[in-house]
Structure 1
Amino acid sequence: MAHSALIVIDVQASFLHRPYWDETDVPAFRQALLALIDGCRQHGVPVVHVFHEEGEGPFSAASGLVRPLDWLPTNAEARFTKHVHNAFTDTGLGPWLTERGIDHLIICGIRTEQCCETTARVASDLGYQVDFVTEATLTFAMTHPRTGRRHTAEALREHTELVLEGRFARIATVPEVLASLKERGDA
C-alpha cells in the first residue's frame, strides 16, 4: 500500500505582486485545488505547503507576502520553505516524508512548468511515485527572450504534461487521483 501526501507548491501571495500575474485561469485552478485538498483530507492524506522565499522583493520574508493566498486553507500538516525551484533541496521535506513512510506524492501549485514540474522530476528521481495534477496547477503566459514568440499558459501546461507523462509522473485529474486513493486504501 502506498502512503500518500499532497504537496501544494507556492500558492502564495507573492505572485499577486508579479507583473505577469493574470487572474484568467485562477477560478478554475482554485476550484480544482480546493477539491483536491478536500478529497485528500477525506482520505486522510496529509497536506503539505511549500512556499518559495528569496532575498528581496515580493518573495522575501521581509515582504510579508510569503504566505498562503487568502482562499487557501492554512491547516496543513507541515510547511516548508524553499529557495530553489524544487521542494526538496534544503527544505526538510524529504526526511519528513521518510519518517511517515510516504512514497506517493500528489503535486499541485503555482508555476506548472517551473517549481511544480521541477519538484515532480526530483521526486521521481528520488524514487517517489508521482501524480501530477495539471488542473490544480497554475501558470502564466511567457514570451521567449530570443524569438519573441509568446507561449500561452495552456501551451506551457501541455508541454509539461508531455515531458512528465510516463517518465517522471502520471498525469491525473482531481477525480482520477481521488479514485486512486480510494483504490489504494490510503490512510
Structure 2
Amino acid sequence: MTKSALLNIDVQRSFEHKDFWQQNDLPAFSEALTRLIDGCQTRNVPVVDVFHVNAEGVFSLASGLVTPMTFLSHTPQKTVHKNVHNALLESGLDAWLREEGITHLIIAGMRTEQCCETTTRVASDIGYNVTFVTEATMTFPMTHASGEVFSTDSIKRHTELVLADRFATITDVDGALAELDRAV
C-alpha cells in the first residue's frame, strides 16, 4: 500500500517582503492550498511544512519572517528548514519520510518553477511517486534577459509540460484528493 505525505513548500511570510511580491494569485492559491491541506489531514495524510532559510535577509531566521503565511491554520506533522532549492536532501526530510514508510509525495507551495519543481524532480530521481498539484502552487511573473515577460500562467504551464509523465502526475486539488481516496 502506498503511504503519502503532502509537502507544503515555502509558504512563508518572507515572500511578502520581496520586491516581486504580488497578491494577484494569492486568493485562488490560498483557497486551493487550504482545501488540499484540509483534505489531506481528513485522510490522515501527514502535512510537512518546509521553510527556506538563508543566512541573511527576509529568509533568515533572525528576520522573524520564516513563519507560515497568515492564511494557514493547520498543524503540520513535521517542519523542516532547507537552504537549497529542493526540500529533501539537506533538510533531513528524506530520512524522515523513509522512516515513516512514505513512498508518495504530493507537492504544493511557492514558487512553482523553483522549489516546487526542483523538489519534484529530486523526489522522482530518488524513488518517490510524485503528484504535483499546480493549482496549489504560486509563483510570480518573470522577465527574461530579452525583456520578454512570462506570466504566472505561462510559467505554470511550462512546469507542467516538463514534469508530466517524466517526474510527476499533474493534477488539481480534487484530482489529488481523489487519488488518495483510490489508494485506500
* AA partner of residue 160 (structure 2): E
> d(CA) in 2 for partners of 1:133 and 1:74?
18
* Number of aligned positions between the proteins: 184
Matches within 5 A, 1:19-58: 19-58=19-58
User: Could you say which residue in structure 2 is the equivalent of 1:121?
Assistant: 121
* AA partner of residue 92 (structure 2): G
> d(CA) in 2 for partners of 1:118 and 1:182?
27
**1:154 equivalenced with 2:153 (yes/no):** yes
Matches within 5 A, 1:31-110: 31-110=31-110
> d(CA) in 1 for partners of 2:179 and 2:134?
16
CA RMSD, 1 decimal: 0.6
SS at match of 2:54: coil
Displaced runs of 4+ in structure 1, greater than 3 A? none
> d(CA) in 2 for partners of 1:73 and 1:104?
24
* AA partner of residue 173 (structure 1): D
Contact 1:68-1:74 within 8 A present in 2 as well: no
> d(CA) in 1 for partners of 2:110 and 2:181?
26
User: Could you say which residue in structure 2 is the equivalent of 1:174?
Assistant: 173
1:74 CA drift (Å):
4.2
Unpaired runs of 5+ residues, structure 1, are: none
Identity of aligned residues (%): 55
* AA partner of residue 33 (structure 2): L
1:148 CA drift (Å):
1.0
> d(CA) in 2 for partners of 1:38 and 1:66?
22
SS at match of 2:109: strand
> d(CA) in 1 for partners of 2:61 and 2:100?
29
Q: TM-score, normalised by structure 1?
A: 0.97
Contact 1:49-1:78 within 8 A present in 2 as well: yes
